[in-house]
A and B are shown apart, each in its own frame.
Chain A
Amino acid sequence: MKLKLATATAAAILAAAPAMADLVFPDLSYRTGPYAANGIPFSDGYQDYLTLLNERDGGIGGEKITINECETGYNTEKGVECYESTKGEGSLVYQPLSTGITYQLIPKVSADGIPMHTMGYGRTSAKNGRVFKWVFNYPANYWDGASHAVTHILNENDGDISDKTIALVYHNSAYGKEPIRTLEKLSEKHGYDLTLLPVDHPGQEQKSQWLQIRREKPDYVIMWGWGVMNQVAIQEAVNIRFPMENFIGIWWSGSENDVKPAGKAADGYKALTFHNLGSDYPVYDDIQEYVVDRGKAAGAGDQIGTVLYNRGMYAAMLATEAAKTAQEIHDTSAITAEQMRDGMENLEMTEEKMAAIGLPNFGPEFTVTCENHGGNGMGAVAQWDAEAEEWSLITDYFQSDQEILQPLIEEDSMQYAEENDIELRCDE
């Protein structure tokens, strides 16, 4: 009897309690493991913005928001478990913040009919909305990022980099391998030499890669790193006295957590970004008033205003704007995942909208269409000032090399469509 009781309780606990709520935004976060340093601020920003809407506006269009957090540890198996345990609770949109989990979820969300937004990560060719109905990656993607870095190097060298060498230090995973094709294509176009230096998960051991950089002396180093790998790479670059202004990280390799461990020596390190930085925005006053002061800040509440916090907030803002759009289209406040998708596909981010939210000039303007799920590929370069301990933009937003990227996206997405028998949309 005891055993039976124990089994029954265990079974009851195993079956996650479904909490039917109004608007459910799951947050597949990672606050543990080697990627936690980057996962925490993003998740905090994501949740704080949603909490702000709940506290200040009473949700979106009168519907309360429920946040469903689930710890993935950046691990694909746990990510799948999180997805399965939360999808039945009316989840509107998934943002897993992991390229590995994204690859795992693309077929699942497509089968279950729940949209997924991979902002600046995930599968780049998901930009092609004709193939990927349920996946969005606006406002920018990895191949945009690769092109941004090369364009920035071009601009610094007056448009001629045919005698330069560029090394790519990358996380040896689907994430880190994303830019390789693009960088190779761009190297054909601009004539630079490309060296590839993979770093294995989790990235604490990079001595040999940086020894090779020291020996071969590439003119520029581009990095595709995440989590503890960023900190180690920047420290190693400092150790071999690599000129920091020639070291450019993707937007996931450019947060305070990444540069601070290297101290003053990290001064001048550059990273890409697709949104603005700092906490000098009206929305932060509201977050302070409605979220922090009421003791509702997510996590420890010490990440507010950091780069990744901003990015998490930006992700939440885009999601809620899409939800508002969906509410307008379907004329109902209690939207479903399917209606949410329509909202995302018709999302239009304008300067007026961002200013009204309290984030003037925070991100680029873009419009999502049926064919284009990826925005216009605008990005900028930020630089770390170790003295003032802050990131600042050193360029305007500029567009990636669409001439190179568009055919690549077309090719890769068509291959996926063929492999998976997907009928192309948007033709009617």
Chain B
Amino acid sequence: MFYREAGDFKTSYAEDTQTFPIRFDRYRYFAVLAVAFLVVPFVINDYWLNAVFLPFLIYSIAAIGLNILVGYCGQVSLGTGGFMAVGAYACYKLMTAFPDVNIFFHVIIAGGVTAAVGTLFGLPSLRIKGFYLAVATLAAQFFLVWLFNRVPWFYNYSASGQINAPERTIFGIPVTGAETAPWATYLLCLVFLTASALIARNLTRGMAGRKWMAIRDMDIAAEIIGVNPLRAKLSAFAVSSFFVGIAGALFFAVYLGAVEVGEVFGINKSFLVLFMVIIGGLGSIFGSFAGAAFLVLLPVLLKNLLVGGLGWPTDLAAHLEFIIVGGLIVTFLVAEPHGLAQLWRVAKEKLRLWPFPH
């Protein structure tokens, strides 16, 4: 009824190639942005922020980053946790070394540092592929965590080996440390997420993205038509690590405030983000959001339902949570191997014709 392109005429190339060519889609997108920027900050409280929104926003950035590498360029990576740690530690070192520089720039520079490290660990991808590459990136994961545990310089020689985010402000409003207002940290992460998603979306539908997808679909054919695999693969690693690094920096500085590298950025984190990408949908920006939402919200939802709603013992609920989340993942992937994004795509196709599908 509403969701169709009939009568929606385009008169220029720019209009024709925009991200949301259908008018209804476009308005929905603006509505979501408006709610996220103009409504949520006024109603958000500490619980919603820390249990739902911050993890969702930050994991979305990480999932977008990993999706570029795995979904668009086809290079399987298990090093996400390690790269997030690079972002976190880079941010920490910058925050403590240059306290006068705005945290906003620290986060971006931390992303840049991670991009450099990611490119370095992406070098093996030029020679090895598939599972073998996954194992090589696994080495990055373990090496980086070991490094941050082993070399005291990274944690400023603190006795506990932890890094703690000191208080930093943007426009005089604290965004890290203990005295933060929920809306401030929420908006900071939302700005980063929006920017990341916009950049990622436009990269992936431009020349860079087409090169990545060519490499993903068949690297030999891509090389024959003139795609330089070295630059394509390494740029995918760099851009992906950049976003992952930003996610790591925000995860440490804004969300947790104190980080112990082995626990927070361990191999589990790598798997979690990879699952988000796979469940959400490989090669889709929307899929990154959907996957992050699924894996962040579902456990909280189940916990509140089982413990808060039904009053079951917490250990039983925690175990059931594993079973239910695991079962749902399997069911989803059997029903729709291309993830939540494909479900969304199919729903939209059907809506275009609804209510007269024939």
The chain A residues found within 8 Å of chain B, CB to CB, are 10, 13-17, 29, 31-32, 36, 40, 69-71, 73, 75-77, 80-81, 84-85, 87-88, 99-100, 103-104, 107-108, 110-111, 123, 172-174, 177-178, 180-181, 198, 200-201, 299, 412, 419-421
- Residue pair A177, B50 in contact (C-beta under 8 Å): no
B287 at the interface (CB under 8 A from A): no
Instruction: Kindly name the residue among B258, B301, B307, B319 whose own CB sees the greatest number of chain A CB atoms within 10 A.
Output: B258
- Residue pair B162, A103 in contact (C-beta under 8 Å): yes
- Residue pair A76, B162 in contact (C-beta under 8 Å): no
CA A116 – CA B300 in complex, angstroms?
Answer: 24
- Rank and list the top 8 A-B pairs by shortest CB-CB distance, nearest first: A107-B178, A31-B315, A174-B160, A71-B314, A111-B178, A84-B50, A32-B318, A81-B51
Q: Could you name 25 residue pairs across A and B whose Cβ atoms are closer than 8 Å?
A: A10-B301, A13-B301, A13-B308, A14-B297, A15-B304, A16-B47, A31-B313, A32-B315, A36-B315, A69-B307, A69-B314, A71-B314, A73-B318, A76-B263, A81-B51, A84-B49, A100-B263, A103-B164, A107-B178, A107-B257, A110-B178, A111-B178, A173-B161, A177-B159, A177-B160
B135 at the interface (CB under 8 A from A): no
- Residue pair B166, A420 in contact (C-beta under 8 Å): yes
Interface residues of B toward A: which range?
Answer: 35 or more
B177 at the interface (CB under 8 A from A): yes
- Residue pair B314, A31 in contact (C-beta under 8 Å): yes
- Residue pair A174, B47 in contact (C-beta under 8 Å): no
Specify which chain A residues have a CB less than 8 angstroms from the CB of B46 in the assembled complex.
84, 87-88
Residue of A nearest to B316 (CB): A31
CA A173 – CA B308 in complex, angstroms?
Answer: 32
- Residue pair B262, A32 in contact (C-beta under 8 Å): no
CA A198 – CA B260 in complex, angstroms?
Answer: 14
Which of these, B52, B257, B315, contacts A14 with CB under 8 Å?
Answer: B52
Which of these, B47, B304, B314, B317, contacts A88 with CB under 8 Å?
Answer: B47
B327 at the interface (CB under 8 A from A): no
Specify which chain B residues have a CB less than 8 angstroms from the CB of A71 in the assembled complex.
303, 307, 314-315, 317-318
CA A198 – CA B145 in complex, angstroms?
Answer: 14
Q: What sequence of 0s and 1s flags, for each residue 156-174 of chain B, a beta carbon within 8 Å of any chain A beta carbon?
A: 0001111010110000000
Specify which chain A residues have a CB less than 8 angstroms from the CB of B313 in the assembled complex.
31, 69
B266 at the interface (CB under 8 A from A): yes
- Main secondary structure, interface of A, reads helix
CA A85 – CA B263 in complex, angstroms?
Answer: 22
Specify which chain B residues have a CB less than 8 angstroms from the CB of A88 in the assembled complex.
46-47
Q: What sequence of 0s and 1s flags, for each residue 296-328 of chain B, a beta carbon within 8 Å of any chain A beta carbon?
A: 010011011101110001110111000000000
Specify which chain A residues have a CB less than 8 angstroms from the CB of B319 in the assembled complex.
32
- Residue pair A85, B315 in contact (C-beta under 8 Å): no
CA A103 – CA B178 in complex, angstroms?
Answer: 12
Residue of A nearest to B317 (CB): A71
CA A77 – CA B54 in complex, angstroms?
Answer: 11
CA A14 – CA B308 in complex, angstroms?
Answer: 10
Within 8 A of A (CB), among B23-72: 46-52, 55
CA A107 – CA B167 in complex, angstroms?
Answer: 11
- Residue pair A76, B256 in contact (C-beta under 8 Å): yes
Which of these, A17, A75, A412, contacts B308 with CB under 8 Å?
Answer: A17
Known contacts being A178-B159, A420-B167, is A13 close to B304, with CB within 8 Å? yes
- Residue pair A84, B159 in contact (C-beta under 8 Å): no
Which of these, B159, B179, B264, contacts A77 with CB under 8 Å?
Answer: B264
CA A258 – CA B304 in complex, angstroms?
Answer: 33
B149 at the interface (CB under 8 A from A): yes
Specify which chain A residues have a CB less than 8 angstroms from the CB of B264 in the assembled complex.
76-77
Known contacts being A29-B314, A107-B178, is A75 close to B263, with CB within 8 Å? yes
CA A77 – CA B295 in complex, angstroms?
Answer: 14
- Main secondary structure, interface of B, reads helix
Known contacts being A32-B318, A107-B257, is A14 close to B263, with CB within 8 Å? no
- Residue pair B318, A31 in contact (C-beta under 8 Å): yes
- Residue pair B149, A198 in contact (C-beta under 8 Å): yes
Residue of A nearest to B55 (CB): A77
Residue of A nearest to B47 (CB): A84
Residue of A nearest to B179 (CB): A111
CA A239 – CA B46 in complex, angstroms?
Answer: 50
Specify which chain A residues have a CB less than 8 angstroms from the CB of B49 in the assembled complex.
84
Specify which chain B residues have a CB less than 8 angstroms from the CB of A16 in the assembled complex.
47, 304, 308
Q: What's the minimum C-beta distance from B344 to chain A, rounded to whole angstroms?
A: 12
Given contacts A104-B258, A107-B177, A178-B160, 13 further A-B contacts (CB under 8 A): A13-B304, A13-B305, A13-B308, A16-B304, A32-B318, A36-B315, A76-B256, A77-B264, A103-B258, A172-B161, A173-B262, A299-B315, A419-B164
CA A108 – CA B180 in complex, angstroms?
Answer: 10
CA A178 – CA B162 in complex, angstroms?
Answer: 11
Q: What's the minimum C-beta distance from A124 to chain B, rounded to whole angstroms?
A: 9
CA A110 – CA B260 in complex, angstroms?
Answer: 21
Q: What's the minimum C-beta distance from A224 to chain B, rounded to whole angstroms?
A: 12
Q: What's the minimum C-beta distance from B217 to chain A, rounded to whole angstroms?
A: 35
Known contacts being A173-B161, A420-B166, is A14 close to B256, with CB within 8 Å? no
Which of these, B164, B300, B309, contacts A81 with CB under 8 Å?
Answer: B300
CA A35 – CA B41 in complex, angstroms?
Answer: 37
Specify which chain B residues have a CB less than 8 angstroms from the CB of A180 in the assembled complex.
159
Specify which chain A residues have a CB less than 8 angstroms from the CB of B301 in the assembled complex.
10, 13-14
Specify which chain A residues have a CB less than 8 angstroms from the CB of B177 in the assembled complex.
107, 420
Specify which chain B residues have a CB less than 8 angstroms from the CB of A108 in the assembled complex.
178, 257
CA A419 – CA B162 in complex, angstroms?
Answer: 15
CA A17 – CA B47 in complex, angstroms?
Answer: 12
- Residue pair A103, B300 in contact (C-beta under 8 Å): no
Instruction: Kindly name the residue among B164, B166, B264 whose own CB sees the greatest number of chain A CB atoms within 10 A.
Output: B164
CA A13 – CA B297 in complex, angstroms?
Answer: 11
CA A324 – CA B17 in complex, angstroms?
Answer: 70
Residue of B nearest to A178 (CB): B160
